[in-house]
Amino acid sequence: MIALTVILLKPVLQINDMVDLLEYEGKQIFQKYQVPVTEFKVIRSESDIPDFSERMVIKAQVPVGGRGKRGGVVPVNSKQEALIAMDKIRKIDFDGHRSEVFLLEKAYSERRELYLSVTLDRSKELPVILASAEGGMDINSVPAEKIYRHHIVPYVSVPEYVKRELGEFLGLKDRQIYEVVDALYSIYDQMDASLVEINPLAVTDGGLTALDSKITVEDDALFRHQEIEPRYFGLEPVEIEARKKGLSFVRLEGDIGIIANGAGLNMATIDMISLRGGRPANFFDLGGTDDPAKVIEALKLESKIVSKVLFINIFGGVTRCDTVATGIVQAVKELKPDFKIVVRLRGANEEQGRHILQENGIESLLNLDQAIDRVVKLAGE
């Protein structure tokens, strides 16, 4: 019988495949696309709060919902009340997030609250417009018959008849709803978003106003949107550094550092080390690169967490073993690590790679089982 060790990698962010913008960031985008929003001011410190004597609301800026239910949205009537509210909000744990930025905005008296969004229906692989006259609630709790749905064919935009149907469904006669729907779809399309949501969309005496915003952008598209900062909630500094350098790294709790090329090989290496009693320190996917500069960056990161031994497991297909070995040698000469390094190279130019390593006093083994045993033994010493 083969024993299987399962190691759960901790959730990585909110960096998975999407970035949730904070409310104020979404409202700044809404302003750019002519979506009416409440008057607001971004508050980063107490000195940013102006003097005022009218009804205002101070809001926590965190990438989770349900802020109001947990005390993250507080009505205030003066600067002093805002300061007290901000101090209290700072202490609230919003699913592991604490508010460092706040939104101070004018309180509005709305006649009705609506829900409106453009999101991706992954089952149909099409964007879909969702609307409901019951705004301010979780859309998943609204009965299906009270939700307007219409899928949009990409590159066609929103047809006029759809906007007319939606307006009638919500009981709106003013064509302003047409403009808001067009704007939301433009944001969805141009920002590479998977969700653009207004909840609630307030019907006020002055027209429609977005009282909240939620925009989720696909992480893989961030290179096209330099104005959006990636989110690194819940990550350690070394993980954040790796992300910024485009390296796939997850910290674990052991003492044996691992670098491998490919997620599958990484997981197999982690399992084999664990089965032999070793404790993996990380998951590190070098990918298909054989760029010595990337190898050097990988060893620099590992040197921040490894104290005993680093195992480098490379299966060369597209990746050439000799250039990986060159990167390893350069990194060792530059960093002069005080931990042991064991390398297993197999594949394209493996003999040249092993020769480069051995010439420079770096231990290299061909057999994976022997390499794993050696690594675990070194870690135990």
**Catalytic residue annotation:** 115, 197
Mark 68-90 as b/e (b = at least 16 C-beta within 10 Å).
Answer: eebebbbebeebeebeebbeebe
Rounded CA gap, 260 and 312, in Å? 6
Contacts of 36 (CB under 8 A, 6+ apart): 30, 176, 180, 207, 208, 209, 210
DSSP characters over 101-127: SEEEEE----SEEEEEEEEEETTTTEE
CB-CB contact of 301 with 238 (8 Å): yes
Alpha carbons 10 and 366: distance in angstroms, whole number: 31
d(CA 41, CA 122): 36
Beta strand 126-132 with 147-151: parallel, antiparallel or unpaired? antiparallel
Task: Give phi and psi for 37, each to the nearest 5.
Answer: -130, 165
Distance CA 237, CA 242 (A): 9
For residue 200, whether the previous peptide bond is cis, meaning omega lies within 30 degrees of 0, is yes
Cα distances (Å, whole numbers) of residue 150 to 93, 121, 200, 243: 37, 10, 20, 37
